[in-house]
């Protein structure tokens, strides 16, 4: 193990990665560079710096970076241009953060002369795949250390014992006793796993949710908002133009107040098992609804249907860790091409856990023609007689098949 001289660790400052930091120093006898990404998890990150220093990391080898704008602009927004959801429900909040972290791990390794990277993902989860697939795509020769696949510290109790024996400060336990939820947070979502959620038949605890009020406790009056889109990306809320990260944070605040964005699902992990998780994606839930509404008025029918056909494949690529793959990049090129005319505004209503579209318009790119769509006199804009031939031509193959079946039936009767 001594051949590793310097490793860049994806470091949160929590129990797992703090133990990993010390374990890397002991087992590999190497220097450790820590990388902590601020992608909107809403936690103070300076304690991670202080803890790393206490564990012997030089200040010059501690990287704490604000990546919120890049995260939303270059990862979340491109994903939402495709209206991406996994298995019909999941908005991929954890999945979409991993390629950015992998990218920075590789870049920092190059900057610091690191010959390996390390992460705290377990051998049971999807994140190990996402981190490592991204890393290999960006540096095929990088060495990756995944402690959960090497050590014997396979329970929280063993981790706590290791931390105590090595003088590593640890966070407090869950207030109701036992381990806290396994959580992942960023500007797009919070995920929860573990504890009572390991029984898919049990309801999540009320005090688990952090961003959203219970729908029944939400305000009794609805709230309206307008989102403006340019080339498929949201650029303003209620007429106020803002950056990508600020805009998503604003939508999180508005949606959370009305109980919008909760999800409880059992999903299929890439490694083969089923897993029950709960998610809060308040702003993303609004964004998906608004983007589809914007496309409904500006996108050609067949282009929209093609996007819907491709979306599950695109979602699986992100979920399974293939963000940096040539096929995802090729699909993104197609998706982005479809967004050139997705410009305009959408009005939505938030109420008691729901988000509804109540209006949409595009001054420059609307394909909705009221002169044709009207139920009143259209002054000849649409000749209804044309529909007869249209229907007959489209029914031709079914008419031929029906005649053949009728002939077969007559023959059997004779």
Residues with a known catalytic role: 16, 98, 127, 182
What are the helix (H) ranges across 147-281? Answer: 156-165, 244-257
Token pair 């050590």 in the structure block, residue: 151
Q: What does the angle CA 326 – CA 332 – CA 334 come to, to the nearest 5 degrees?
A: 110
Closest CA to 83 of 265, 290, 386: 290
How far is Cα 191 from Cα 280, in angstroms, rounded to an integer? 7
Three-state secondary-structure class, residue 45 = coil
Count of residues in the chain: 414
Report how far Cα 190 is from the mean position of its chain's Cα atoms. 10
CA dihedral 395, 401, 407, 410 (to 10 degrees): -90
3 state DSSP class of 382: coil
In angstroms, rounded to a whole number, what is the distance separating the alpha carbons of residues 139 and 109?
10
Tokens describing residue 24: 């890397």
91 neighbors 265 (Cβ within 8 angstroms):
no
Question: What is d(CA 79, CA 53) in angstroms, rounded to the nearest whole number?
Answer: 37
């Amino acid at each position: 193990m001594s051949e590793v001289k310097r490793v860049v660790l994806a470091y949160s400052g929590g129990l797992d990665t703090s133990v990993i930091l010390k374990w890397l120093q002991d087992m590999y006898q190497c220097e450790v560079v820590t990388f902590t990404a601020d992608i909107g998890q809403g936690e103070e990150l300076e304690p991670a710096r202080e803890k790393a220093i206490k564990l012997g990391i030089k200040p010059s080898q501690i990287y704490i970076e604000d990546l919120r704008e890049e995260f939303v602009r270059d990862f979340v927004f491109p994903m939402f241009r495709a209206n991406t959801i996994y298995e019909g429900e999941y908005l991929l909040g954890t999945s979409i953060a991993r390629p950015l972290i992998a990218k920075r791990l590789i870049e920092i390794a190059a900057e610091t002369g690191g010959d390996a990277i390390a992460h705290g993902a377990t051998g049971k989860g999807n994140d190990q795949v996402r981190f490592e697939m991204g890393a290999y795509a960006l540096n095929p020769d990088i060495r990756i250390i995944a402690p959960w696949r090497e050590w014997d510290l396979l329970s929280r109790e063993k981790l706590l014992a290791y931390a105590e024996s090595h003088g590593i400060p640890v966070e407090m336990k869950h207030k109701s006793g036992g381990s806290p939820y396994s959580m992942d947070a960023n500007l797009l979502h919070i995920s929860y796993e573990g504890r009572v959620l390991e029984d898919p038949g049990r309801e999540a605890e009320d005090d688990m949710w952090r961003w959203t009020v219970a729908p029944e406790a939400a305000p009794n009056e609805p709230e309206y908002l307008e989102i403006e889109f340019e080339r498929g990306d949201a650029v303003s809320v209620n007429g106020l133009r803002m950056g990508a990260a600020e805009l998503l944070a604003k939508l999180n605040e508005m949606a959370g107040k009305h109980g919008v964005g909760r999800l409880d699902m059992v999903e299929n992990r890439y490694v083969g098992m089923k897993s029950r998780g709960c998610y809060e994606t308040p702003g993303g839930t609004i964004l998906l609804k608004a983007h589809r509404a914007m496309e409904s008025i500006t996108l050609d029918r067949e282009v929209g249907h093609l996007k819907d056909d491709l979306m599950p494949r695109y979602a699986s690529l992100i979920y399974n860790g293939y963000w940096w793959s040539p096929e995802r990049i090729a699909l993104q090129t197609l998706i982005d091409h479809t967004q050139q005319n997705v410009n305009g505004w959408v009005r939505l209503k938030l109420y008691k856990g729901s988000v509804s579209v109540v209006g949409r318009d595009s001054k420059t790119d609307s394909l909705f023609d009221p002169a044709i769509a009207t139920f009143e006199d259209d002054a000849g804009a649409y000749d209804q007689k044309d529909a007869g031939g249209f229907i007959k031509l489209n029914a031709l193959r079914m008419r031929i098949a029906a005649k053949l079946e009728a002939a077969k039936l007559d023959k059997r009767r004779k």
